[in-house]
Amino acid sequence: MTNMQELDDTSLPIFKVERVQLQFSISSDFVAAQVANNVLILALSTGRILRIDLDSPSDIDDIDLPKKTSEVGLIRRMFLDPSASHLIITTTLGENYYLHTQSRQPKALSRLKGVAIESIAWNPSVPTASTREILIGAADGNVYEDYIEPSSEFYRSQEKYLKGVFKISEGPVTGLWVDLIPGRSDTRRVIVASPTKLLHFVGRIGRHGQEGSGSIFTKLFETEAPTLHEVNRGPQSSLSTFVVSPDSAESQPVDNDDGERTYAWLSAQGVLHGRLRTTTASASLGSTVFNSSKMISRSQIPASEGPSGRKKPTQEPIAGVALSQWHVLCLVEGRIVALQKLDDRIIYDQVVLEPGENALCLLADQKKNTYWLFTTQDIFEIVVTDEDREVWKIMLKSQQFSLASHYAKTPAQKDAVAMASGDHLISKGQYLEAANVYGKSSRPFEQVALTFIDHGEQDALRRYLLTKIATYKRSSIMQRTMIASWLVEIFMSKMNSLDDTITTKAQLTENTNTAETKDELATIRKEFEDFVSKYRTDLDRQTTYEIISSHGREQELLSYATAIDDYNYVLSYWVQRERWQESLDVLKKQTDPSIFYNYSSVLMVHAPTELVDILTRHPDLDPIKLIPALLNYNKTNPNIPLQQNQAVRYLLFYINALHTTVSAVHNTLISIYASHPSPSETALLSYLSTHSLANPPPYDTDFAFRLCIQHSRVQSAVHIYTSMGSYASAVDLALKHNEIDLASMVADRPSSTDTALRKRLWLAVAKKVISQQGTGSIKTAIDFLKRCDLLRIEDLIPFFPDFVIIDDFKDEICSALESYSRSIAALEAEMDASAATAESIKTDIKHLDRRYAIVEPGERCRVCELPLLSRQFFVFPSCQHGFHSDCLGKKVLEGSGLTIRGRIRELQAQIGRGGRKEKEGRELDALIAGQCILCGDLAIKSIEEPFVNETDDREEWAI
CATH number at residue 299: 2.40.128
State the DSSP string of 325-394.
Answer: SSEEEEEETTEEEEEETTT--EEEEEE-SPTTPPEEEEEEETTTTEEEEEESS-EEEEEE-STTTTHHHH
919, part of any domain: yes
Residues 6+ apart with CB under 8 A from 66: 97, 105, 106, 107, 108
Residue range 913-940, pLDDT digits in tens: 765 567 888 888 888 888 888 888 788 7
Cis peptide before 696 (omega within 30 of 0): yes
- φ and ψ at residue 467, rounded to 5 degrees: -70, -40
Asked if residue 362 lies in contact with residue 373, where contact means CB atoms within 8 angstroms, the answer is yes
914, part of any domain: yes
The chain-wide mean pLDDT, for the chain, equals 84
Cα angle vertex 803, ends 802, 807, to 5°? Answer: 120
Asked if residue 200 lies in contact with residue 227, where contact means CB atoms within 8 angstroms, the answer is yes
For the chain, helix, strand, coil in percent to 5 are 45, 20, 35
Q: How much is the average pLDDT of 283-300?
A: 87
Last residue of a domain, one of 348, 371, 387: 387
pLDDT at 724 over 60: yes
- Looking at the structure, tell me whether residues 789 and 882 fall in a common domain: no
**End-to-end Cα spacing for the chain:** 122
Last residue of a domain, one of 343, 370, 387: 387
DSSP, res 654: I
Burial degree of 839 (CB within 10 A; 0-12, 13-18, 19+)? exposed
Strand partners, 188: 180, 203
Alpha helices (H) along 578-662: 580-588, 593-606, 608-615, 623-636, 646-652
Last residue of a domain, one of 323, 357, 387: 387
Nearest to 20 by CA among 383, 324, 386, 385: 383
Q: How much is the average pLDDT of 27-45?
A: 92
How many other β-carbons are positioned within 10 Å of the β-carbon of residue 487?
Answer: 22
Label residue 753 by pLDDT band (50, 70, 90): low
Of 316-325, 532-541, 809-818, the least confident: 809-818
DSSP, res 874: E
- Of residues 927 and 912, the one with the higher pLDDT is 927
- Per-residue pLDDT, 784: 64
Label residue 250 by pLDDT band (50, 70, 90): low
Of 197-206, 236-245, 396-405, 840-849, the least confident: 840-849
- Per-residue pLDDT, 903: 83
Nearest to 651 by CA among 678, 627, 628, 633: 627
Q: How much is the average pLDDT of 120-144?
A: 94
Global confidence as pTM: 0.59
- Looking at the structure, tell me whether residues 249 and 354 fall in a common domain: yes
676, part of any domain: no
Asked if residue 487 lies in contact with residue 502, where contact means CB atoms within 8 angstroms, the answer is no
* Sign of the CA dihedral running 724, 727, 729, 733: positive
Q: At what angle do helices 431-438 and 458-469 cross, to 10 degrees?
A: 20
- Looking at the structure, tell me whether residues 936 and 811 fall in a common domain: no
Quote the radius of gyration of the chain (alpha carbons, Å): 61
Asked if residue 145 lies in contact with residue 135, where contact means CB atoms within 8 angstroms, the answer is yes
- Looking at the structure, tell me whether residues 260 and 362 fall in a common domain: yes
- Looking at the structure, tell me whether residues 815 and 893 fall in a common domain: no
DSSP, res 519: H
Q: How much is the average pLDDT of 711-735?
A: 85
- Of residues 88 and 573, the one with the higher pLDDT is 88
Number of structural domains the chain divides into: 3
- Looking at the structure, tell me whether residues 886 and 814 fall in a common domain: no
- Looking at the structure, tell me whether residues 237 and 377 fall in a common domain: yes
Residue range 459-496, pLDDT digits in tens: 999 999 998 998 889 999 999 999 999 999 999 998 88
pLDDT at 9 over 60: no
- Looking at the structure, tell me whether residues 797 and 888 fall in a common domain: no
What are the Cα distances from residue 800, in Å, to 8, 400, 771? 126, 123, 8
Of 378-382, 520-524, 547-551, 949-953, the least confident: 949-953
- Per-residue pLDDT, 207: 79
- Looking at the structure, tell me whether residues 872 and 816 fall in a common domain: no
SS3 label, residue 742: helix
- Looking at the structure, tell me whether residues 359 and 255 fall in a common domain: yes
Asked if residue 614 lies in contact with residue 587, where contact means CB atoms within 8 angstroms, the answer is yes
- Of residues 150 and 259, the one with the higher pLDDT is 150
* Sign of the CA dihedral running 438, 439, 442, 445: positive
Nearest to 178 by CA among 170, 169, 187: 187
160, part of any domain: no
Burial degree of 499 (CB within 10 A; 0-12, 13-18, 19+)? middle
Nearest to 405 by CA among 387, 419, 392: 392
Label residue 258 by pLDDT band (50, 70, 90): very low
pLDDT at 820 over 80: no
C-alpha–C-alpha distance, residues 246 and 264, integer Å: 12
- Looking at the structure, tell me whether residues 239 and 360 fall in a common domain: yes
- Looking at the structure, tell me whether residues 799 and 916 fall in a common domain: no
How many other β-carbons are positioned within 10 Å of the β-carbon of residue 948?
Answer: 10
Q: How much is the average pLDDT of 452-456?
A: 90
Residues 6+ apart with CB under 8 A from 355: 334
User: Hey, what amino acid is at 804?
Assistant: V
Nearest to 759 by CA among 775, 748, 774, 745: 748
474, part of any domain: no
Of 168-177, 630-639, 769-778, 927-936, the least confident: 769-778
Q: What percent of the chain has pLDDT over 70?
A: 86
- At 136, which helix (H) or strand (E)? strand 132-138
C-alpha–C-alpha distance, residues 693 and 700, integer Å: 14
Of 72-86, 110-124, 348-362, 736-750, the least confident: 736-750
715, part of any domain: no
Most confident region among 24-38, 325-339, 519-533, 693-707 by mean pLDDT: 325-339
Asked if residue 265 lies in contact with residue 198, where contact means CB atoms within 8 angstroms, the answer is yes
- φ and ψ at residue 474, rounded to 5 degrees: -60, -25
- Per-residue pLDDT, 1: 41
Domain that residue 279 falls in: 233-303+315-387
878, part of any domain: yes
pLDDT at 27 over 80: no
Q: Is 231 left (phi over 0), alpha (psi -120 to 50) or beta?
A: beta
- φ and ψ at residue 260, rounded to 5 degrees: -65, 145
Q: How much is the average pLDDT of 430-451?
A: 89
885, part of any domain: yes
- Of residues 10 and 944, the one with the higher pLDDT is 944
